[in-house]
């Protein structure tokens, strides 16, 4: 029983484009235990979405291609599965919720009809029973007057309500793992708050695991049990949510935390540009933008994930955590960050030309 529910090992997903091979996910490993929430955090282009779409092969292939790695889900290697077996897992055991609820609902069918279809796809029940179950689900995800709204069409629902319907559909098969890809990014702050609460409640209720993809560390702090920080196709840091926020180990995580809004002062920026995905930097992929970069960061491969603060579960892929370097240089705690906010924040943004790195 010590096997994690999902374990992704050295996953490599590449894209063939006219500009060259995009190393979208390049050797990523993480695990999700039963009933826990793992957040995959990173900017656009970090490969977080590609990583989780690779799990159930939702990616268009080609141009996408699973170049290597293992994905074990409940003791079964998904990379070996036939399309038939995979579609059985998808939906039944692993459900997806996407950023845009609009696209997940068919405008010509009523919400109820789609829900009934989702239920009957996975379970052999009568239409009547499916309907009852559907109303129950809508009620559970917080749709008022569920029995009435069951027969309404998607356009009669607001954005937040649509996302609730999508979550209800995802729950229809009682999955063991819910993959939620930026489910609240397109929503208002107030709606986002209630959707996050809903997901947390459901998770606790059903002992369901959630793999949550987001670029917003504020959301991570609300949701995650464990955090995986990605940058340019590599994992930079992973660990317990409290450890990562209390003592962010990787300079990238630290930088990401410093650009969060809402402290009523001028925010810092990371500076520099997102690397070219077809020709990423050698060594640590973050080194061209890292304030602590030294000679050792530049060559070779991305440093291995080493324990930070002698904590086996909290690891960072940074040379300063191996035996030959002084860890002190890059360490920074949440308290430090709050204490010296504006010193570095005066540095100006140096232009977006190189930043965000051009064509995707």
Partner 1 sequence: MSDDTLLSVHDLTKHYPITEGLLAREVGRVRAVDGISFDIRRGETLGLVGESGCGKSTAARSLLRLEPPTDGEIRFDGEIVGNQTDDERKRFRRRTGIIFQDPTSSFDPRLSIGESVAEPLALHGLRDHDRRRSLVETMLAEVGLSADDYDRYPHELSGGQKQRVALARALVSNPELLVADEPVSALDVSVEAEILALIERLQTTFGLSILLISHDMSVVRDVCDRVAVMYLGEIVERGPTEAVFADPQHPYTRALLASMTTPDPTRRGERAELSGTVPDPADPPPGCRFHTRCPAVIQPPDYDFDQQVWRGILDLRIALRNRTLDTERLRTRLVTEGDAEHADEISGAELRTAIRAAHDIPDELHDANAEQVLSAALAEIVAGELATAEERLNESFATICCREQPALEETEAGHRAACHLHDVGGESSTAESVLSGQQNG
- Residues in touch with partner 1 (CB under 8 A): 43-44, 131-132, 135-136, 145, 147-148, 158-161, 188-194, 196-197, 215-222, 224, 241-242, 245, 255-257, 259-270, 334, 348-353, 355-360
Q: Which helix (H) or strand (E) holds 102?
A: helix 101-104
Measured from the CB of residue 351, what is the shortest distance to partner 1 in angstroms?
A: 3
Distance CA 162, CA 154 (A): 7
Q: Which is nearer to partner 1, 281 or 357 (CB)?
A: 357
Distance CA 135, CA 145 (A): 9
Report residue 122 as tokens: 């996975």
Q: Which is nearer to partner 1, 89 or 166 (CB)?
A: 166
Measured from the CB of residue 285, what is the shortest distance to partner 1 in angstroms?
A: 15
Distance CA 25, CA 142 (A): 36
Measured from the CB of residue 85, what is the shortest distance to partner 1 in angstroms?
A: 36
Q: Which is nearer to partner 1, 44 or 87 (CB)?
A: 44
Farthest-apart Cα atoms in the chain, separation: 68
Q: Which is nearer to partner 1, 12 or 242 (CB)?
A: 242
Measured from the CB of residue 58, what is the shortest distance to partner 1 in angstroms?
A: 22
Measured from the CB of residue 104, what is the shortest distance to partner 1 in angstroms?
A: 19
Q: Which is nearer to partner 1, 93 or 131 (CB)?
A: 131
Measured from the CB of residue 139, what is the shortest distance to partner 1 in angstroms?
A: 8
Start-to-end C-alpha separation, the chain:
42
Instruction: Report the relative pairing of strands 64-73 and 311-316 from DSSP bridges.
Output: unpaired
Q: Which is nearer to partner 1, 200 or 327 (CB)?
A: 200
CB 214 within 8 A of CB 192: no
**Which residues, 6 or more positions from 278, have their beta carbon under 8 angstroms from its beta carbon?**
17, 19, 20, 21, 22, 23
DSSP string of 196-214, one letter each residue: HHHHHHHHHHHT-EEEEEE
């Amino acid at each position: 029983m010590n096997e994690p529910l999902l374990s992704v090992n050295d996953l490599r997903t590449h894209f063939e484009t006219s500009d060259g091979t995009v190393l979208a996910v390049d050797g990523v490993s993480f695990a999700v235990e039963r009933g826990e929430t793992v957040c995959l955090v990173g900017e656009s282009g970090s490969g977080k979405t590609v990583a989780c779409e690779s799990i159930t092969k939702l990616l268009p292939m080609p141009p996408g291609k699973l170049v290597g790695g293992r994905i074990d889900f409940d003791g079964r290697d998904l990379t070996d599965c036939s399309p038939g077996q995979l579609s059985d897992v998808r939906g039944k055991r692993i459900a997806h919720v996407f950023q845009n609820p609009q696209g997940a609902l068919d405008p010509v069918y009523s919400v109820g009809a789609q829900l009934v279809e989702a239920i009957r796809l996975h379970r052999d029940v009568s239409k009547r029973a499916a309907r009852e179950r559907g109303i129950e689900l809508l009620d559970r995800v917080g749709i008022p007057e569920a029995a009435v709204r069951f027969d309404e069409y998607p356009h009669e629902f607001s954005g937040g309500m649509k996302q609730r319907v999508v979550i209800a559909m995802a729950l229809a098969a009682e999955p063991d793992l819910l993959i939620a890809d930026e489910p609240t990014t397109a929503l208002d702050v107030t709606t986002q708050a209630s959707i996050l609460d809903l997901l947390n409640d459901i998770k606790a209720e059903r002992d369901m695991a959630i793999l949550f993809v987001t670029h917003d560390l504020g959301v991570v702090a609300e949701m995650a049990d464990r955090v995986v920080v990605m940058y340019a196709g590599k994992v930079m840091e992973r660990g317990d949510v409290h450890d990562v926020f209390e003592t962010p180990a990787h300079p990238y995580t630290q930088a990401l935390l410093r650009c969060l809004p809402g402290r009523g002062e001028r925010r810092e920026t990371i500076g520099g540009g997102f690397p070219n995905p077809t020709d990423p930097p050698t060594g640590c992929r973050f080194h061209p933008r890292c304030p602590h970069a030294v000679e050792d960061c530049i060559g070779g491969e991305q440093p291995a994930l080493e324990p930070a603060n002698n904590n086996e579960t909290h690891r960072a892929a940074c040379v300063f955590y191996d035996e030959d370097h002084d860890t002190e240089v890059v360490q920074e705690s949440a308290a430090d960050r709050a204490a010296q906010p504006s010193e570095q924040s005066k540095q100006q943004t140096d232009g977006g030309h190189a930043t965000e790195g051009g064509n995707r």
